[in-house]
Amino acid sequence: MKCFILGAGKGKRLQPLSNELPAPMFPVLNKPLLLYIIEHLKKFHITDIRINLHHLPEYIDSYFEDGQNFDANISYSLEKDLLGTAGALKRTETFFGSTFIVHAGNSLTEIDLNELIYFHNQNHSKLTLAVHTDYERYQCTELSIDDKGKIVKSNLRQTKTDSKFDLIPSGVYVFEKETLDVIPTRQVCDIETDLLNLLLSQNTPAYAFIVKTGCYRVQYPKDLLKLNLKLLNDFSLDQNQLIHFSDSVQIHKSVIPKTFHPLFIGENSLIGKNVEFLGQAVIGSNVKIDEGAVISNAVIFNNTYIGKNIEINNSIVFQNLHINTRSDFSIYVNDEFIIDRYKVSNFANSFSRILFRTIDIVFSSVALIILSPVFFLIVIFIKLDSKGPAFFISRRMQQPEIIQKSKNWYRFQPEKIVKYFKFRTMIYSRENEETGLDEKNIYEYGPFFKAKDDPRITRVGKFLRKTSLDELPLLINVLRGDLKLVGIWGLPEKEAIGIQTKGVSNKDFDISETARIRFKGELGLAGYWQARGRSELSTEERILHDSIQSISDIDDELLLKHLGEYKKSRSVKGYISLILDTVKSVIRKKGAF
Amino acid sequence: MNFIEQKRNDVLVEVINLARATLKEADDFKTILLKAIESGERKIVVDFSQCDFVDSTFLGGLVVSLKRMTAVGGDIRLIGFRPAVRSMFELTRMHKVFEAFNNLDDALTSFAK
């Protein structure tokens, strides 16, 4: 019996991983997924295999060649344009015998193919789909069957999450050659949708074979992570051994006694001193994990360097990367941006963090104690002036949700919100209403908003804003550790999202990239913009101050070399002088209204 | 003199004669550039060759001027980056906003095109 493997797809849902590697070549315990498929077919003496290719074909045919090294006879059907999964079969019609198997190139199963074929023959089926039950699919063909397994209805279902999908195709099909006659020539046609519907409409018998054994279809990057970790777990149980690696691997002696999760390490990889594995990990070949890195639930592809003390959790790290930043629920694919520009926490930095945090705590608690009578008075005035609570919580963003994509890289960072404590300066419950004040915005373009004479502001509010006393409760945020004394001014959600999505530009002029640097900085009370006149400054000046403030926040030795005098702001003296500058500016009532 | 002006045909060349271009001089510089744009200059070259450091206020003023200039169809181009100044432009991604040249001749040629 012959088998046709669908290896041509562009893997849209698997982007960005599929941009540089076709899905059948994705590593599963450091071997290509397609190799598992071929090994599985061989168990049932199916060795005559044709693979269709289109997207990055060279990765597949240069690995498997004619199949000799894999005890199989492999040929290829190179497609210039894609005609869908069924269209691909039609093209290479002469290859097939009377009954044959079609296998998705992204599907790994433990299906008993003998049983599947027996079921197909017994029912005189013209097309049999192996099906299983799965969760967390976004979009899927779902089948309804009668008690014999005959398909009565197929339905393309879409759902958000968590709902259970019954009877969805596993990517393994049994065909009769005559079924190909139904497929239109030179037209896009997919097996699970177009062809199946055609057969159903003609009352041609199509059956679903319910699979009880493992079925893993890699349709989203997350599936690849899950599949790797699942197989690693099974493999470790099977071998009764936690850590799997060959002689070419070097692991520092400090690592093994502390490793309690299954680990799979490829050839020539190096694991440095005190590297911790807090969860399972599959590590490729020629990977270097430097001292003190912390890895859990991760798949790391070949030829990658993980920097010192870097944490990688729940992530896929693509090949040929140099990672120097913490990763959480992320996929990194040749992200030039993260390569040398990010936080590396070493001892000196941890020390300075503790030092600055101590300054923050001492300063804010002393200030809160001294200012407590002022707080008391302000609360009374607000209460007397207008109805409603004395305090107001303003949701500010250090960083909106960021998804950066380009041809070669992809990066996702979840949004970070901090609740700012302020004195209420507006009429209660009007703070969030649409203002209709856009004309009064002092910024002529761009994301920032600030209006003079906002009608929502109360009498006491006007005074508090003028004197910036409305910001005093932010000292509580500092004490709580939400903010630093020195840092970027947190933006309201709308403004932050505006910078991220629309950017800051008009015709012929675009400083969006500069503006987005602010999302790397930490939030704080005092800073360059705050000390240099705030609302007196234009959008561009504000952006420059904020971006430079953020850059001086980033802990990176390489970066520090280029910071020039801005290094000063990283010293205690610089930190305190920025606080004093800001206080001075506030007292002079510069740019506050 | 903190800023030295010379005219090369229709190009105004503004040399920053300061080792440190910071907030102290930023306002003056911004005023000079904005006035020049107002009086009809459309091609300005700013020469940083004497500069070892620019701060955020100074850069801010330069960007404000560039924005004003692009709005009237002109351009501000830069020359004479020393390493620290170049880094500052690169770190802030400002090197993508301004066109910079190695020397005055290159900048003048670029304007002549």
Nearest CA in chain B to A511: B97
Residues in chain A where the model's pLDDT stays below 50: 160-162, 327-346, 406-410, 412
- Going along chain A from its start, the domains and CATH numbers come out as 2-219 (3.90.550.10), 222-334 (2.160.10.10), 347-587 (no CATH)
Residues of A in contact with B90 (CB under 8 A): 562
Neighbour-count burial for A395-417, b at 16+ CB within 10 Å, e otherwise: ebbbbbeeeeeeeebbbeeeebe
Return the number of other C-beta atoms located less than 10 Å from residue A92's C-beta.
16
Q: Are B88 and A564 within 8 A, CB to CB?
A: yes
A444: contact with B, CB 8 A cutoff:
no
B70: contact with A, CB 8 A cutoff:
yes
- Going along chain B from its start, the domains and CATH numbers come out as 3-112 (3.30.750.24)
Within 8 A by CB and 6+ apart from B26, the residues are: B55, B57, B58, B60, B61
* H or E element that contains A210: strand A206-210
Within 8 A by CB and 6+ apart from A94, the residues are: none
A540: contact with B, CB 8 A cutoff:
yes
Residues of A in contact with B93 (CB under 8 A): 513-514, 517, 547
Instruction: Give Dmax over CA atoms of chain A in angstroms.
Output: 91
Q: Are A548 and B59 within 8 A, CB to CB?
A: yes
CB-neighbour burial class of residue A57 (10 A; exposed 0-12, middle 13-18, buried 19+): middle
Gap from A514 CA to chain B (nearest CA, Å): 5
A551: contact with B, CB 8 A cutoff:
yes
Dist. CA B63–CA A424, nearest whole Å: 35
Give the ipTM: 0.91
pLDDT (tens place) for every residue of chain B, 113 residues total: 889 999 988 999 999 999 888 888 988 999 999 999 999 999 999 999 999 888 888 999 999 999 999 999 999 999 999 888 888 888 888 888 999 998 999 999 998 87
Is the Cα torsion angle A339, A504, A563, A491 positive or negative in sign?
negative
Residues of A in contact with B98 (CB under 8 A): none
Residue A371 has which token pair?
Answer: 């200012």
Supply the pLDDT for residue A221: 80
Task: Output phi, psi for A423, to 5 deg.
Answer: -80, 145
Residues in chain A: 593
